[in-house]
């Protein structure tokens, strides 16, 4: 069991470095360099350099900076302001319109940014204060915001999906498409929860106190036309993949072109904005690529020490039922994501989990999609989920009691959604079967 001791020490040191606030890439770099030196001596540093080179030159990783650039252009051009105003008009006078607006916007922003924390912070600075000032229930508003924001890692295009696909032997295109139906299902469940709450207590709906606007087909059509550039961007990313016309890299490139066209249509395209978007893209992309390279090397060290084969052998000897194994595999990252950055947990878990999938016969597309949903669930779970802290930080007037009370129903809802997807795996695997 020597490999077990080595793995335990490595993970403890890694978690300790995270706890001290060391950046994710630096923590991985320290543990990798120490591991190489202890196992192979100075001769092993050649393997270190070669591993990093092979990882960062993978063609599949090209989609990462392109998707980041797409999001940077859309957000830095302030084109999202048009989106907020248009969606607000299109939602109209439906019951609970403010909650529907928050959920719709968080879902759309999640698809554009891929970051639950970023979406939660944006809503905390913009939409939620307006909702509260108009009399919306704070706790239900928090539910709508954090629930929708937490869909960001699974609704395509998602950087986390691309990172997973580049680290395991799974089609990135199929993995991206797999998140569409689960994301829409969870968004629908959030809206149903909100409507049930409002039906049981109509006082939660502040929109009934506002002046009712008569439906105006012309205003609706204008608002719809204004969001068409966003529809084009989304289609250029996912539609081309679904139709089999483009690879993820090619669709990411067309997404960037679409984002530039959208910014131009909204008259917010400028050289200064594009330069700032490029700087932001380079910074974030470099960090992500370094993290991926260090994580891949970590997985290679696990194989070299015999930890990967040892874990597979141990898992096969446990004789746990499939459901029991699945719960254990999900419970560990769920707990860790309450305390540790989602990227860090994912990059530690993937090299350990990947060899176990064949042992238990889990479909890779199905498992990794649920894995991403599960990690998002951990990041929104009280008392330490950093998505809810991002919302609280962006809107200090919210009390922690209100934030926790709004987050717990979303935790229950996401767990229910995962249970449904476990029982009916076709929810995840149906669309990818056409790619």
* Peptide bond connecting 250 to the previous residue in cis, omega within 30 degrees of 0: no
Residue 187 has pLDDT above 80, yes or no: yes
Residue 240 has pLDDT above 60, yes or no: yes
Of 34-43, 83-92, 304-313, the range with the lowest mean pLDDT is 304-313
Query: Which residue do the tokens 């001290």 mark?
Result: 20
DSSP-derived secondary structure letter, 61: G
User: At 26, is the secondary structure helix, strand, or coil?
Assistant: helix
- Cα–Cα nearest to 249, from 49, 60, 23: 60
Between residues 312 and 180, which one has the greater pLDDT?
Answer: 180
- Given this model, what pLDDT does residue 370 score? 93
Instruction: Count CB neighbours of 122 within 10 A.
Output: 24
Domain count, the chain: 1
- For residue range 16-30, list pLDDT tens digits in order: 876 777 776 777 778
Residue 405 has pLDDT above 70, yes or no: yes
Query: Which residue do the tokens 């008009």 mark?
Result: 89
Q: What is the pLDDT averaged over residues 260-284?
A: 84
Confidence of residue 427 (pLDDT cuts 50, 70, 90): very high
Residue range(s) defining the domain that contains residue 376: 2-434
- Cα–Cα nearest to 115, from 409, 405, 371, 375: 375
Between residues 426 and 35, which one has the greater pLDDT?
Answer: 426
- Given this model, what pLDDT does residue 1 score? 46
25: Cα within 13 Å, side-chain hemisphere = 11
Query: Which residue do the tokens 């709450």 mark?
Result: 197
- For residue range 335-383, list pLDDT tens digits in order: 777 656 677 677 777 877 887 787 778 899 999 999 989 888 887 887 6
Does pTM top 0.75 for this prediction? no
Name every residue whose Cβ is closer than 8 Å to that of residue 51 and which is 6 or more positions away in sequence. 293, 296, 297, 300
Joined tokens for residue 111: 């698809």
- Given this model, what pLDDT does residue 126 score? 65
Phi/psi at 93 (nearest 5 deg)? Answer: -100, 25
- For residue range 378-404, list pLDDT tens digits in order: 878 876 677 787 777 777 778 878 888
Confidence of residue 251 (pLDDT cuts 50, 70, 90): confident
- For residue range 127-169, list pLDDT tens digits in order: 777 677 777 788 888 888 888 888 877 887 777 787 788 778 7
Confidence of residue 303 (pLDDT cuts 50, 70, 90): low
In 287-390, which ranges are E strands? none
- Cα–Cα nearest to 366, from 337, 409, 329, 331: 329
Cα distance between residue 241 and residue 257, in whole Å? 16
Cα distance between residue 176 and residue 385, in whole Å? 25
């Amino acid at each position: 069991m020597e490999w077990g001791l080595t793995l335990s020490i490595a993970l403890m040191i890694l978690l300790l470095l995270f706890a001290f606030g060391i950046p994710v890439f630096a923590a991985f770099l320290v543990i990798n360099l120490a591991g190489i030196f202890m196992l192979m001596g100075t001769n092993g540093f050649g393997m270190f350099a070669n591993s990093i080179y092979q990882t960062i030159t993978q063609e599949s990783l090209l989609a990462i900076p392109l998707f980041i650039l797409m999001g940077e252009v859309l957000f830095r051009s302030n084109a999202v302001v048009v989106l907020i105003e248009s969606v607000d008009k299109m939602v109209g006078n439906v019951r609970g319109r403010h909650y529907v607006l928050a959920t719709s916007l968080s879902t759309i922003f999640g698809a554009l940014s891929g970051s639950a924390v970023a979406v939660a912070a944006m809503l905390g600075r913009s939409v939620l204060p307006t909702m509260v000032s108009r009399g919306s229930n704070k706790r239900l508003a928090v539910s709508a915001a954090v629930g929708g924001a937490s869909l960001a890692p699974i609704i395509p295009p998602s950087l986390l999906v691309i990172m997973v696909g580049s680290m395991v032997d799974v089609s990135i295109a199929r993995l991206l498409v797999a998140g569409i139906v689960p994301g829409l299902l969870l968004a629908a469940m959030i809206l149903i929860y909100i409507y049930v709450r409002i039906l049981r207590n109509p006082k939660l709906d502040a929109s009934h106190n506002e002046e009712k606007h008569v439906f105006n087909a012309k205003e609706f059509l204008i608002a719809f036309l204004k969001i068409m550039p966003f529809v084009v961007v989304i289609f250029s990313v996912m539609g081309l993949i679904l139709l089999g016309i483009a690879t993820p890299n090619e669709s990411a490139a067309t997404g960037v072109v679409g984002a530039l066209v959208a910014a131009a249509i909204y008259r917010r395209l400028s050289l200064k904005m594009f330069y700032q978007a490029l700087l932001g893209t380079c910074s974030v992309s470099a960090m992500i690529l370094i993290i991926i390279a260090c994580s891949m090397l970590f997985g290679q060290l696990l194989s070299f020490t015999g930890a990967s084969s040892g874990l597979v052998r141990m898992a096969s000897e446990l004789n746990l039922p499939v459901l029991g194994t699945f719960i254990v595999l999900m419970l560990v990252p769920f707990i860790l994501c309450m305390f540790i950055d989602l990227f860090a947990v994912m990059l530690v878990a993937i090299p350990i989990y990947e060899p176990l999938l064949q042992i238990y016969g889990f479909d890779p597309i199905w498992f990794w999609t649920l894995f991403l949903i599960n990690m998002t669930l951990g990041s929104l779970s009280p008392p330490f989920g950093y998505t809810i802290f991002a919302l609280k930080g962006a809107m200090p007037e919210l009390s922690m009691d209100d934030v926790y009370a709004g987050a717990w129903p979303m935790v229950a809802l996401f767990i229910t959604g995962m249970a449904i997807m476990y029982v009916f795996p076709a929810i995840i695997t149906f669309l990818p079967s056409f790619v």
